[in-house]
Amino acid sequence: MIAATGVRISWTDLPPTLRAAIEHKLGAPVSAVTPQAGGFSPGTADRIRTATGDRAFVKAVGTGINPRSVELARAEARNTARLPAGLPAPRLLATVEVTDSGDNWIALIMEDVDGRHPRTPWQPAELRAAATTLDRFAAEPALAGLPSAADTLGADLVGWESLAADPPADLDPWAGARLPQLCATAERARRSLAGDTLCHCDVRADNMLIRPDGSLVVVDWPWAAAGPPWLDRALLAVNVLAHGGDPGDVLAGVDRDVVRDLFAALAGFFLHMARQPGPPGLPTLRAFQRAQAEALLPWLRAQAG
């Protein structure tokens, strides 16, 4: 499986004005920095310890690196700050924004969760913990003002239409022979995303942390939306497939026709996006998207008999 990772800058690459503002929020100078790998961001991701022994997780990015990443950081800050207390998600401690040399910078100062990412290929016990945790969020009403999952994901579900307009020579033959049917899945999938529960909408192993006691925390909330209670489980199943596993248990109780339509629409999105130029600072994104499409297509072929 292609690693989900950006070319991250380091703590020392941040403007001095931003580092000073972060230390002001922390209430003490930073004495130790432990960089964290993984995740689709070109910004920093550091576990911080201050001179007084306090800990925090700090992620920061500027518009000169990737303007879209700054927008997503602002969305993550808004959503994380509003998550109900007691849910297994990190607490937002503070947000800092500065302008330096014409670039806008944002830093999120968050609770430092003591944990590791789930192992992939997914292990049965950790997969059960992930599904159970996602069910806790699905039992919550969506935060007021969140976009609908149909709006958040809707633009991602028209990849087959783009491919059908100019079919590439190397398009999977099974998919190429079914382009009209695959295009029709997008609208059905979009309609199925109506709902009013809290959805993360970007469920992957690298967006979860397992604490030493085995409990699981879901991180990175920029895409939070109002949707159906089964959506995050379905997205977890995509990640299981992408890592070579069987998503059967994760999909138990979810309408298989609805899942098939969503997976088909997502496969089109991943195939289409994999052919686009790579965004700055994210060199593995397109290969990661292609790998997910290549995991979904065999599952779809099997479902179609």
Q: Across 2-11, 38-47, 107-116, 277-286, which has the greatest mean pLDDT?
A: 107-116
* pLDDT for the residue 38: 74
Which residues, 6+ apart, have CB-to-CB distance to 225 below 8 Å? Answer: 142, 146, 147, 148, 149, 151, 152, 153, 199, 201
pLDDT at 6 over 70: no
pLDDT tens per residue, range 179-235 = 999 999 988 999 999 999 999 999 999 999 999 999 999 999 999 999 999 999 999
pLDDT tens per residue, range 243-287 = 999 999 999 999 999 999 999 999 999 999 999 998 888 888 999
* pLDDT for the residue 4: 60
CATH 3.30.200.20 domain locations along the chain: 11-110
CATH 3.90.1200.10 domain locations along the chain: 124-304
**Count of CB atoms within 10 A of residue 31's CB?**
12
**Arch. (CATH architecture) of 124-304:** Alpha-Beta Complex (3.90)
Please state the pTM of the whole predicted model. 0.95
pLDDT at 176 over 70: yes
pLDDT tens per residue, range 51-100 = 999 999 999 999 999 999 999 999 999 999 999 999 999 999 999 999 99
pLDDT band per the 50, 70, 90 thresholds, residue 242: very high
CATH of domain 11-110: 3.30.200.20
**Count of CB atoms within 10 A of residue 123's CB?**
12
Between CA 208 and CA 206 the distance in angstroms is 5
pLDDT tens per residue, range 32-57 = 999 997 777 889 999 999 999 999 99
